[in-house]
Amino acid sequence: MAASMYCLRTVIHGCQRHIVQQPRLGIPSCTCSNRNWGALRFYVIPAGVKIRGKKVIKKEKEVKIVTKEELGEKRKDTSRIKPFGFAAWKPTDDVYVARYYPKQSIQPETAVEMLKTFQKLDFTSPDQAVYLQLKLDMKLEKKKKVDPFVGYITFPFPFENKVNKILVFTENAEDIEIAKNNGAAVVGGPELIPEILNDDMQADFYIATPEIVSKLHLLKNKLRKKIPKSKRGSVGIDIPSMIKVFEHCYEYIVERECIIRIKIATLDLPLEHINR
């Protein structure tokens, strides 16, 4: 067999002049020798290369951009074998890469128990904070949305001994005496405005009586969300009740148009207190 192949190469080498590329034909030439016999090969011309004065232009494919809403709708389709963009609906192992699977939802009680277990395994502080993050549906009809707002909440089992600093705006002498007797840190009228604007006086919460609200417009840009308003419960005539609420309440703000993140407890509290 080896002798036959050697004879074949020798014959082709002797007849090389018959397969040399013709001047008017587009067949690539090949060089043959009794040691190396090159085969004919055809190559794809890259885009942008000129051939005999003509330029080959490659058409670019249109890239379709998928929005977050469309991606969320596709991932809600439970009829698929696996969710869109993920490896599977649920991991089959205890150790896995989280970004390859949809976020697993668990009950709040289970989540708190897991946090307590992780705290013991990591040897972290037992009184570390527990935060709650809520995503609100802020959409209305006709493509409108609810404006971000500020709210206040009190918990049945306080987890901090801190008492909020309350500033009361009023001009009535009787209301001033009532506010001081019920624990207000600062009580006064319009004379407090320059000190607040100059950052010489600050408080955690600001409350006011109805007759002085119209004189506080200079503080609107300074206090922003903390400016006293009746719809927030910080304007009224019952000063003792307002002070009692704001002394131990916690403030939450809607961030990024629909997210609320607030501290609700510490891990050293009993499980029943946290779940409430």
Question: Measured between alpha carbons, how far is 222 from 224 in angstroms, rounded to an integer?
Answer: 6
What does each C-alpha distance from 149 to 10, 131, 254 come to in angstroms? 91, 19, 6
At residue 86, the pLDDT reads 85
> Are the CB atoms for 92 and 108 separated by under 8 Å?
no
Identify whether 98 is part of a domain.
no
Tokens of 21: 């590329």
Identify whether 136 is part of a domain.
no
Question: Measured between alpha carbons, how far is 120 from 241 in angstroms, rounded to an integer?
Answer: 41
CATH at residue 209: 3.40.50.790
Identify whether 240 is part of a domain.
yes
| Residue range of the domain that includes 188 | 166-247
Identify whether 37 is part of a domain.
no
Give φ, ψ of 26 to 5 degrees: -100, 25
At residue 10, the pLDDT reads 55
At residue 15, the pLDDT reads 52
At residue 177, the pLDDT reads 93
* Other C-beta atoms lying within 10 Å of the C-beta of residue 196: 19
> Are the CB atoms for 188 and 215 separated by under 8 Å?
no
Contacts of 143 (CB under 8 A, 6+ apart): none
Identify whether 42 is part of a domain.
no
- Reduced to 3 states, what is the DSSP secondary structure of residue 263? strand
pLDDT tens, residue order, the chain (276 aa): 444 444 555 555 555 545 444 444 444 444 444 455 455 666 666 655 555 555 555 556 677 777 877 777 777 777 888 888 888 888 888 888 888 888 878 888 898 998 999 898 888 888 899 998 888 887 777 767 777 888 888 888 888 888 899 999 999 999 999 999 999 999 999 999 999 999 999 999 999 999 999 999 999 999 988 899 988 889 999 999 999 989 888 888 888 778 898 998 999 888 888 887
Give φ, ψ of 195 to 5 degrees: -65, -35
> Are the CB atoms for 201 and 143 separated by under 8 Å?
no
Tokens of 206: 């600001």
Identify whether 59 is part of a domain.
no
Tokens of 217: 């417009």
Task: Describe the chain by its helix, strand, coil percentages, rounded to 5.
Answer: 35, 15, 50
Number of structural domains in the chain: 1
User: Of 248, 253, 252, 262, which is closest to residue 166 (Cα–Cα)?
Assistant: 248
Identify whether 228 is part of a domain.
yes
Identify whether 269 is part of a domain.
no
